[in-house]
Each structure stands twice: as structure tokens, then as C-alpha cells.
Structure 1
């Protein structure tokens, strides 16, 4: 794929405390004014933004040089730090060791691949594990090492030995990408509501911090890898939505030609992973219990039941990049005479979660604050909250994060390191549960005992987030007169999308609007007393 000119035999894509050279301050010291200056620059001059995204979402693509190149406006992009010393194999080059190590394999389109993770080695984090974690801070062993040491080839060749670097078994490996910080903006987040923002770079994702400052690092079996099953690839594992063959078509034939035990159907591979993941999350991530409920009720009585959701994971529930991710209780209360209460159903037409109180949804909500009329999309002179949402690189203020923390979480460390709890008093120090109470009146014509069921549901994409992406990703593809990469020719999209946003919309709708996944379920019953 690539060979490194580093004499040390490792290729660095670590950022740590990056500066632009000379007396220029580190990127993490830059504020909103600098971000606004960047927005005024041409697309060519904003190369660094995509660079930070690609190093985690497509590390092979980053290493192969698909990030924006250095230019006169950003000369600091040039150099070993940014991968400029990496030399790319041409598809026709005699140096290319095999067909998988050239552009023809399109490995950069497969996101996180087997061979990338099996080449990651210790990224020299400090003892605390936090300071240097995140933003794609890894070292990658070059291909020549595996040529000289075939016993370390691991899963990179069919039937090869499974030798791994010890670092690949540690939670710090996961923190490499699951700990993301905006390199340009200091956060405007004010968890305590006292008018003083926390003095840290704006956090985008803090899964590693959440784990590190919980009870799990000191537990036997407390590593990320102890809970999360090893990744298995009977085919290309890409996105979480179904019906992917509409977009990608069959898997790259190169893999099967080389003898890997894979199916040529991406859909079959995805279906297998979906079933595996459903089995993994249901009952293993959370537990629902009943805190209190009446033993019996009469027709006309008003009663209430309180459910408790306990987080069994080593991070917030849900965790990861918070935009669009939602978790909530779907509660049904009924008798033989019909439904008494239902809260948390999903509108089948839109994918909207139907709750009486939106605060009952566990989620992170971040906004882009202070950009003036830049975000006034309808030009009405007023920038609404809706217009401030989902702008990834502009987000600088977390206004809600009520996701359930893990057992033994250190609240002070969470707040100091950007894993905010908002409102700040939502959870006491170490609390890894949340309660939800539902009040109802028993109908006069009720028959039979009162049945109650609570399901903990999760959606990776809210309908609002999908609508935003479908609308904003509107650059036409090359075939339709624009600059965006053409959709794969092997796909079978029915809407003939002119841009990737339309393709996303079609897949989302065909999948059933990104269907919700069940994490836990609890049933209970209240006696109906007619005496």
C-alpha cells in the first residue's frame, strides 16, 4: 500500500501538540476568530479540516495521500507529520508488492480495514493515557517490515499466523480514534451555567475519557476488547445501514481472487454483522428494572411506575460521536380493553421518536454559536437553534448531554476533560443509572390486569440528522457536472441520485428510516382490583 521513508521503520500519523511552525501557537490554542478566518478562505486553503477527519474515517486513504495537499496558505501541512514523506505505489509500478497494495483495490473506500489495525503499534501515549490520545494519533508499521518478518503478517494474508503487537490488545488502541477534539476551537460549553466556559478545546467525542475515568480500567476484563467482540470480515464491513449493495455493488473482486474466505455479496456480509451486533447489544449493554409500582389499582385510579435504566458498559450510554444518536424508553401500558399509555414509539413514515418530553431522550446536543449570519440559511435575520445544529467542524457548544455515565465515573475528571454532563446535576458522582417515571389513569372500562412493558431503544441516525446530511451534501457528482466523486458504478440506486446526499436519503428510507435497535426490555404487571 505504502512504504515509509522514515529511517526508524515507522510511519507517524500522530498529532499531539501540533503547531504551524515558528511562533505560531498550537492549533488547539486558536479561537473562534481564527475559525471564522478559515471559513473565509477558499476550499483549497481549508485543507487541514478534512485531513483530521480522514485519518480516522479512512486511514488507508489518508496514508495514500487522498487528503488535501499542502499549499501556500497552509505550508505546515507539508512534512513527515502530515504523511508527505509517504510514497505511493502506482497501479503499474514494478514496486507494488501485490494487487492489494495499489489504488486499484480502492481500500481507501472501505474505511477501517483489517490490515490497517494489524499494523498499528504503540503510539507513545503518556502514563495518564489522556494527553496524547485521539485524533488519529497512531504509528503504523510499514509494509517492508512484514516482507522481512512474515511471521508478523497476522490476518493480512490468507491462513497466515495471528501475531499481534501487544498494543493492539490495549484500550489505548481504541482511544486513538474514539477520542476526538476540534483542533481549531476552544469550547464555549458552560456545564455549570455560571457564564464561564470550560477552558478546553472543544470535545467532539470522549469515549476513551469516559472509560478511563470510570471503574473499568481497574477491573479484570475491563478493557475495551474484553467487551467488544473482535471484528470479523466475511466481506466488506462498511456502513451500519442496510441495503448497501444499492450503493456499492459486490465486494472488490481482488479480495476473492487472492484467496480470502469472503463472500462477494456486501449485503450478506452486512446482514451477518447486523445479526451479530443485535445479539451482542440486547441485554449486555443495559438493564431495566422497576423502582416502584402499585400492587393494584381500581378503574378510575391514577397510578405511576418508575423504570430504572442501568448502564452496564464502560462508557456513556450511548457513547461515540453524539450527533444524531438517540436512546430512549419505549413504554406501553395496556389492558384487554386497549392501550392506556404509549410513549417512545417511532413514526414509521419519518423515523421521528414520539415522546411526550424530548428531555427523556438520552443524547448529546451541540450547537455552532457565534457565527453571526453565516448560518442564517433562510435569510430572515434570525439564526435559529435548528440552523446551528449538525455543522460538525463549527460546533463549539454542548447544550445537552444526559447520556448515562458508566459505573464509578469520576464526575470532576469528566468535566475537566470534556466528557460533559449537562445539566451538571443530572447524575451524582459515580451514578450509572437514570430513572424515568410514567403516570397514567386506569379507564373505567378496563378489563384484566394492567400490563406494562419498557424497551430501551437506540437509533444511530435521528431523522433530523439524516435530513441535514441529505440536504447539505448536495455537490453534484462528476457525471452530473459537479466535483464530487461518482457513485460506484456497480451499485443499483433506483433514484439515479445526482449527489451523495440523495443516495443517503434513498438508503435511509429503504432501510425503514434507520430502524431502532433494542438494548434491553422489562415487563411487569399491576393487578386490576374491581372490588
Structure 2
């Protein structure tokens, strides 16, 4: 790769959306409140909708705010290597958790603006609703948004690699708690009061309603830093340990729409801010923070004796987003750990921000200069393994034979719906394969082809959310009624059977529009059961819970609906599709996989089912040796007969029924 970017990719970025620049971010006239909804005759069926930056205005800090003293805004831009100089892995003390830079650089937070899936979705959004990309840039490139680079609604102002740094060190560590608290830095009071005086204080979190310090400071939760080597003031901020810190970008609604009395959503008047600015009156998009807020995790926490989450957490009780996604580790956050007053700590937060994106980081590494991303093959392999392990910790699966039926129960152990977040392309499903006594597959539910990305999922349970257009919106846009993959235009939810977290209640979830749609869960239910008929002569089944980040249906939507490249090169949607193919078609990850044998002896170690554990069972394991499904020797149901199964026989020797 020459320079900072591959030429076709960089060219496509410069022309995304093709939107004319608008004077952005000024609060609309008449205090920014729309007088009402558009009348049908004012709306045209042609796209894009004639929206402006005013339609996407959000309270909170606005771009390039002056300081309290009236001095110019102090930019957040600083080479990532300025932070890396001190906050990196110390080769003399080889512990990766010592390097916040090293772990952050392998996170999707770091590369949220380089994410080619997002860039394709951004380009399409601008073809559907003018200037809608400005709203997206808030969270995917917040420091560039704060610098005023989103005024075109696309990425054409992003002319430097630093503009694509995503959710950067400087952005997060300048964020101010929106709620005044005596434990917060005293400087915060003036920042909050200035927003109140300007009429832009955000009453609700979410929607990218940032509050950040106009002055270059370093905020964080630690109060034992000893020596300040930053050249900027350090302010102790408990807010950085709180889930509300994450709410800004992980609770999102569409401000183009307002809720009607019947629960439907309609477009607001154009060129005006949302009439109430209450997210609860808008069309929901992704509600991860609200899902957490209305769970047991937010109400005292959930304890995990098995330590599946939290790293070196002292109690194992998970409460905040940070507890799971920034687990505590022993180490240091600075290479000067050996200096008196700095030292090592048992609770350094891992800045990997591990989540559920299984492939886009490899795309970033393929398309961008490693000198700008900080990525390398070793780090990517480590993050892939960490992501897969995290996904496998998110749920438990139980299989039970019920006469001629198989019961499969999936339990959600995350602090939000499973899956959660971005609604398009993400899904979980059950793959069930039945076998006869010769190990031949008889039937498969939830078929997926790893070579092509094709699937047949109508005969199984798929956990997902589907958005749609009602008749009114279809008329206005010229698009068909029903399911849509457009986040910008969707005004109804067709399906949402994602599994809620522990502590779920229907009333609480209805209060923030997070209730199940086309499905039902009882209060406190955070699991789901699916029943399959067992075919005649089937003696075993292998059940796998798969998760996929980007479905073939969604990537084809991006490819087919992305605007053409003005220079004649591939569209950003085509580039996204090609990357998807190149990196394994977003290969599904097995979150859990088990084998169940039907009608077998329940005696542990009895491989041949004769009611006794002895030499014949050792021989049964040896005869089945190797990979096998529905074989006698696979006692621990891991799909193979091996030493572990021999040990099970020995441990239960002479056992009888």
C-alpha cells in the first residue's frame, strides 16, 4: 500500500453522498422547535428526503465550543502516537494490559470511522435523506465532528488520517458527566452551566449528545496517578467508570420522526429540530444502554462465580458496561510504572472494548496503513480469539430430550438483549443436525454454507430485529411496504425476538420502546426455548448456536444500493462487499455447540450403554477415536472421542445403574 490509503478507496471517500455543504450546527430559528408534522401534500416520493442539518440537531456540546473564558476551542487532534509514547506495552515488562494504546488500537472504537460497513451505510443514508450522515458522524468520528468536519454530511472533509481515528483517547478522556455531582471535577459545573444558559443542555443521554471539555484536559477514574507527565491538567472523573459514559452512542433514535398516539412514527416538518428532543418520542434504532438500565445488571449487578466476565474483578459481580467490556487486569497503564508514585495496579481497565464484531478489523488492516492504525497480524489474531471467547461467554445452551422432541434453551447472560446494537446484519440462530446410528446426517435445521454465505433459516429459530416501512412512509418514499434495511427511513419494527437480559420486565421495556415485537417473554425471563421434532431413527443431534456480524443479505443491500463513485471506480458498497468476501464472508461464530444422544444410558462413563462402566467402555472410546458425531465413545459431547473420554471412563470405573 502506498501512502495512507489505497487510491480507489480514498477516492470513494471523497465523493461519498455528493451532498452540498450547508452551514451546520447552528440551532434552528424559533428555538429549534418544529411547529408540527408535514402535511402529505408537502412530502414527495422522491429520495433523498429534503432534510437539512437542522433536522438532526441535538442538544449537548456543539462543534468547536469556546472555553468558559471565551478562548478558542482546543482541538482534540493529536497523533495517536503521542499517547502511545507512554501508554504502550513495555517490552521489558511484557504484559499487554500495560498498554492502553495497544489494546485500544485493536478495538472497533479506534476504527469506527474506518469501518467500511459503516462508510457504505453512511453513503446510502445520504441518498435517502440529505445531510443524515452528519448525525452518523457524531458517534463514528466524534473528534472530527467536534472539529466541525461533518458540515457536508459525508466524509469529504476528512483529509488527514487523524480524522479517521474514531473514538479516540482524547475524545473519551475529555468527556464530562452530564449530571452534576459533588465527586466530579469542580470545572464541570461551569461547563454544564454554559449549556444550560445556551439552552442546549441535554435532558436525556444518547443520540451522540456529547458534553466534552473545550479545554485540553485528561479525565479518568484513577486518583493515584502520582506524577503528571501529560502537559495538561488531570481531573479525576468517576463518570468514566459509569455506564452513562457509554450512553451517548449506545442509545440511538431517529430524530426525523415523532411518535403518534397510536404508537406509529411519522416524519417531522423539514429543516427543524425534533419538536420535543425527547428520545422517547423518536423512532428507536439501537437501545443497548436502555436495555442495560432496565436489567438486573444496573440494579445491584449479576454475579458470575465462573468468572466468565470481568477479568480480575474483585467480586465477580458485573454492573456497568465497563465491568464486562473493559475488564480489570493487573498491570500498568504507563511505561513509567517503575517510577515512585506510579507503579502497578490490580485494576487496570482493558481498553480492547471487546464486543461482537468478528471481521471488520481485518478489513481495516487490509485497507489502511498500519502506521495510521497501529494494527498488526499478531494483534488481530489476539483480538479475534478474545472476541470469539467473549461471544461464547454471552450465553449458555441446554439440551433436553422430551420423548419425541428436542428442547433447546438459550440463556442470555449479557447486560442487554442478545444480540444487541446495530440492527442490520447481526443475528443468532440455531443449527440442529440429526444423525442415525451410523453417524449419517438425517436432517438439518438452520443450514448455512460457509463457502457462499447462503443460508436457509426458515426452519429454525433466528434471533434478530427487523425494521420496516408502514404504508404512509412507503407512499412518501416510493419504497415498498414492509421490511427495509434503511435505518434512516424505517419507521416501524416488524420483528424483535432478541433475548432480553436478567431482570427484564415488559412494562419497563415498553417504556423505552424496547419490548419484544412478534414474540413474547414473561417478566424476568432471560432465556428462550425452541422445540424440534426428533426424526424417526435419529439417535443423536448436534446443536450449534451461531452468531454472525454481517449477513449476506445486508452486505448485498450495501453493494446494490450504494451511490456510484464519481471517478468511475468501485462504489464504497462494492468495496465493502469485496472486503466481506475477502475476509471470510463474516463467517458465523459458534457461541455454543453440544451433542445430545437420545435414549442413552444416563450412567456417566457408560459408553456402550450396558449399564456398567468397565473395560468395554474403554474399548468403545478407542474404537470411536477421533472426530465423530453420534459415536459411543464421545462421552463429553464435544464431537470427538479422545483422552478426555477415556478419563471419564476411568473416573467412573465400576459404576452401575
| TM superposition score normalised by structure 1 | 0.69
* SS of residue matched to 2:255: strand
C-alpha spacing 1:63/1:433, structure 2 compared with 1 (3 Å): same
Please provide the CA RMSD for this pair.
4.2
- Shift in CA distance, 312/160, structure 1 to aligned 2, threshold 3 Å: farther
Query: How do residues 422-501 of structure 1 correspond to structure 2 at under 5 angstroms?
Result: 422-423=517-518, 426-443=520-537, 450-477=539-566, 480=567, 498-501=570-573
Contact 1:233 1:269 in 2 (8 A): no
Secondary structure, in 3 states, of the residue corresponding to 1:139?
coil
Name the CA shift for 1:185/1:245 in 2 (closer, same or farther; >3 Å): same
| 1-structure distance, mates of 2:162, 2:579 | 22
Equivalent in the alignment of 2:33: 25
The answer as to 2:325 corresponding to 1:228 is: yes
Q: 1:315 to 1:157 in 2, by over 3 A?
A: farther
Corresponding residue of 2:106:
none
Find the aligned partners of 1:117 and 1:175 in 2 and give their Cα distance.
12
**In the alignment, is the contact (CA less than 8 A) between 1:110 and 1:238 conserved in 2?**
no
Q: Larger radius of gyration, structure 1 or 2? A: 2
TM-score (norm 2): 0.56
**1:290 aligns with one of 393, 399, 408:** 399
**Residue of structure 1 in register with 2:293 after alignment:** 212
Query: C-alpha displacement at 1:398, in angstroms?
Result: 0.2
Q: CA deviation at 1:265?
A: 4.0
Is it true that 1:279 corresponds to 2:389 in the alignment? yes
Q: CA deviation at 1:152?
A: 11
Deviation at 1:43, TM superposition (A): 7.8
CA 1:527–1:146 in 2, change beyond 3 Å: closer, same or farther?
A: closer
Structure 1 residue 184 corresponds to structure 2 residue 281: no
- Closer, same or farther: CA 507–187 of 1 in aligned 2, 3 Å: farther
Look up the match of 2:245: 173
Which residue matches 1:244? 364
Once residues 504 and 191 of structure 1 are traced to their aligned partners in structure 2, the CA distance between those partners, rounded to angstroms, is 35
1:521 to 593, 597, 602: 593
Q: Which residue of 1 aligns with 2:434?
A: 333
Distance 2:174 2:158 in 1: 19
CA, structure 1 residues 43+104, in 2 after alignment: closer, same or farther (shift >3 Å)?
A: closer
In 2, Cα distance between the equivalents of 1:505 and 1:124?
Answer: 42
* Structure 2 SS opposite 1:419: coil
What do residues 284-320 of structure 1 show as CA deviations (whole Å, max 9, x unaligned)? 21111124434xxxxxxxx211111111111110011
Task: Please list, as runs of the form range in 1=range in 2, the aligned pairs for 1:88-103 lying within 5 A after superposition.
Answer: none
Matches within 5 A, 1:195-210: 200-210=281-291
Q: Which ranges of structure 2 fall in alignment gaps of 5 or more residues?
A: 1-25, 55-128, 182-201, 265-278, 302-317, 327-348, 602-608, 611-657
Give the distance between the partners of 2:48 and 2:440, measured in 1 at CA. Answer: 56
Q: 1:501 offset after TM fit, Å?
A: 1.1
In structure 1, distance between residues paired with 2:39 and 2:143: 31
Tell me: CA distance 1:319–1:131, structure 2 relative to 1, closer, same or farther (3 Å).
Answer: farther
- Superposition deviation, residue 19 in structure 1: 7.0
The 5-angstrom pairing of residues 403-414 of structure 1 reads 403-414=498-509
Residue by residue over 1:242-281, the C-alpha shift from the partner in whole angstroms, topping out at 9 and shown as x without a partner, is: 34333223232xx8xxxxxxxx545543332211111222
Q: Distance in 1 between matches of 2:369 and 2:42?
A: 39
TM-fit CA distance, 1:349? 4.1
Q: Which whole-Å deviations, capped at 9, do the CAs of 1:80-117 have from their partners, x for residues lacking one?
A: xxxxxxxxxxxxxxxxxxxxxx9875223132222221
2: CA distance between counterparts of 1:330 and 1:402? 17
Q: Quote the offset at 1:142 in angstroms.
A: 3.4
Q: In the alignment, which of 172, 179, 182 is matched to residue 124 of structure 1?
A: 179
Please tell me whether the aligned partners of residues 368 and 391 of structure 1 are also in contact (alpha carbons under 8 angstroms).
no
Which runs of structure 2 are paired with 1:496-515 in the superposition (5 Å)? Answer: 498-515=570-587
How many residues were matched structurally? Answer: 420
- Residue in 2 that maps onto 1:41: 50
Task: Look up the match of 1:314.
Answer: 415
- Compared CA separation, residues 35 and 338, structure 1 to 2 (3 A): farther
Counterpart pick for 1:54 among 129, 134, 137? 137
Contact 1:311 1:317 in 2 (8 A): yes
2:486: which partner in 1?
391
Q: Which moved more, 1:138-147 or 1:326-335?
A: 138-147
Query: CA offsets, 1:142-163, max 9 Å, x none?
Result: 353359xxx9999x98999997
Contact 1:146/1:152, CA 8 A, preserved across alignment: no
Asked if 2 retains the 8 angstrom alpha-carbon contact of 1:457 and 1:516, the reply is yes
Q: Name the CA distance, whole Å, in 2 between partners of 1:211 and 1:222.
A: 9
Question: CA, structure 1 residues 246+521, in 2 after alignment: closer, same or farther (shift >3 Å)?
Answer: same
Give the aligned partner of residue 113 of structure 1. 168
Distance 1:24 1:162 in 2: 36
Assess, with a 3 A threshold, how the Cα gap between structure 1 residues 417 and 265 changes in structure 2: closer, same or farther.
Answer: closer
Structure 1 unmatched ranges of 5 or more: 1-17, 71-101, 193-197, 256-263, 295-302, 378-382, 482-496
CA distance in 2, matches of 1:232, 1:332: 39
Cα deviation code 1:185-207 (max 9, x no counterpart): 12579789xxxxx9831100111
Partner-residue secondary structure (3-state), 2:370: coil
**Structure 1 contact 351–513 (Cα < 8 Å) conserved:** yes
* Residues 1:133 and 2:205 aligned together: yes
Q: Give the 3-state SS of the residue equivalent to 1:527 in structure 2.
A: coil
Alpha-carbon deviations, 1:113-160, whole Å to 9, x = none?
Answer: 22221221202389xxx960101122112353359xxx9999x98999
> Residue 67 of structure 1 corresponds to which residue in structure 2?
150
Match among 300, 305, 310 for residue 406 of structure 2:
305
CA 1:23–1:33 in structure 2 vs 1: closer, same or farther (change >3 Å)?
A: farther
